């Protein structure tokens, strides 16, 4: 009963027919949206963070990264870091543009392009983040609380097994991974579980960051990072790339060596 309903026709407005159902109705709809839907609260107090969606090279100007500012305020002249995909670079924001307008600053929620100094286009890629220096680190191992989607929710019709290898999607990055868990052999669709997830390479990650697990075109689960764990050592990283059969062979080989 409290939801306002506005009737009208956008086609009538375009064709300049029946002003009451056309132009006037569209204007009334805009007024209703402005008055009824609250303005989203922007996270302006935290250090700026821009997940990079795309990278462009502008002749005569340099490299531009684009994306939606996730939090904070980004100003022209600010020092910044580009983090992710096992890379780390320092730079300075020398220009900000949004929808062909030059800005001195942008706020959380703005879709923008940021011109960065001294960075080659090929050194930056989608999935990295542009952030305030020292605020975001790269990690390849974390604990997470994950919900495994049921088939009717768009998920799998089979359980997730230990050493499952989905693709992790978070912000603008995607990365191959392997899933570990203790005290059980599988996680059934429709269940919540605490998992340890190891990424194929370090990515920009924070506690509280949300992500999805995908296998092909299927979203297997959704989750949130609950704890950042120490990065993988050389042996753990080598183990990460092993198939299950090779893992079993290596375990058997080690057991035989100990026995002898």
* 156 plus 178 within the same structural domain: yes
* 174 plus 152 within the same structural domain: yes
Quick: pLDDT tens for 131-190.
999 999 999 999 999 999 999 999 999 999 988 999 999 999 999 999 999 888 899 999
In this prediction, residue 10 carries a pLDDT of 94
* 90 plus 178 within the same structural domain: no
The average pLDDT across 104-108 equals 95
* 122 plus 152 within the same structural domain: no
Q: What is the pTM of this model?
A: 0.80
More confident residue, 31 or 42: 31
pLDDT at 67 over 70: yes
Say if 260 falls within a structural domain.
Answer: no
* 124 plus 179 within the same structural domain: no
Say if 23 falls within a structural domain.
Answer: no
> Which of 45-59, 158-172, 238-252 is the least confident region?
238-252
Of 101, 131, 161, the domain-final residue: 131
* 228 plus 170 within the same structural domain: yes
The average pLDDT across 186-204 equals 95
User: 66-98 burial, b if ≥16 CB within 10 A, otherwise e?
Assistant: bbebbbbbbebebebbbbbbeeebebebebbbe
Say if 170 falls within a structural domain.
Answer: yes
Find the angle CA(17)-CA(19)-CA(23) to the nearest 5 degrees.
100
Kindly indicate the confidence band of residue 78, based on its pLDDT and cuts at 50, 70 and 90. very high
Of 102, 131, 160, the domain-final residue: 131
Say if 2 falls within a structural domain.
Answer: no
* 144 plus 126 within the same structural domain: no
Quick: pLDDT tens for 83-97.
999 999 999 999 999
Say if 253 falls within a structural domain.
Answer: no
* 141 plus 235 within the same structural domain: yes
* 232 plus 141 within the same structural domain: yes
In this prediction, residue 244 carries a pLDDT of 66
* 117 plus 143 within the same structural domain: no
131 and 81 in contact (C-beta within 8 Å)? Answer: yes
69 and 109 in contact (C-beta within 8 Å)? Answer: yes
Say if 201 falls within a structural domain.
Answer: yes
* 78 plus 153 within the same structural domain: no
Distances (CA, A) of 253 to 38, 247, 250: 63, 10, 5
Distances (CA, A) of 2 to 6, 33, 36, 41, 126: 13, 14, 10, 23, 43
CATH number of the domain enclosing 154? 2.40.30.10
CA distance 69 to 48: 7
Q: What is the domain count for the chain?
A: 2
Q: How many other CB atoms are found less than 10 A from the CB of residue 101?
A: 8
Say if 124 falls within a structural domain.
Answer: yes
* 159 plus 124 within the same structural domain: no
Q: Give the structural domain span for 174.
A: 137-240
The average pLDDT across 57-61 equals 87
């Amino acid at each position: 009963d409290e939801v306002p309903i506005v009737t009208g026709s956008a086609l009538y407005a375009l064709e300049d027919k029946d002003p009451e159902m056309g132009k006037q109705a569209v204007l009334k709809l805009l007024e209703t949206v402005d008055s009824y839907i609250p303005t989203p609260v922007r996270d302006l107090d935290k250090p700026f963070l821009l997940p990079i969606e795309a990278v462009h090279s502008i002749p005569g100007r340099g490299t531009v990264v684009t994306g939606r500012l996730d939090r904070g305020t980004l100003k022209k002249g600010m020092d910044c870091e580009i983090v992710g995909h096992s890379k780390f670079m320092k730079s300075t924001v020398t220009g900000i543009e949004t929808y062909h307008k030059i800005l001195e600053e942008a706020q959380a929620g703005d879709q923008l392009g940021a011109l960065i100094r001294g960075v080659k286009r090929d050194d930056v890629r989608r999935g990295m983040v542009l952030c305030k220096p020292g605020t975001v680190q790269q990690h390849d191992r974390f604990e997470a609380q994950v919900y495994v989607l049921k088939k009717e929710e768009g998920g799998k019709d089979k359980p997730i097994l230990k050493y499952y290898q989905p693709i992790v999607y978070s912000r603008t990055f995607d990365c191959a991974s392997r899933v570990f868990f203790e005290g059980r052999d599988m996680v059934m669709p429709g269940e919540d579980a605490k998992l340890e997830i190891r990424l194929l390479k370090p990515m920009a990650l924070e506690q509280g960051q949300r992500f999805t697990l995908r296998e092909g075109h299927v979203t297997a689960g959704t989750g949130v990072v609950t704890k950042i764990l120490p990065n993988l050592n050389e042996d753990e990283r080598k183990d990460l790339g092993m198939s299950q059969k090779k893992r079993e062979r290596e375990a058997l080989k080690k057991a035989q060596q100990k026995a002898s």
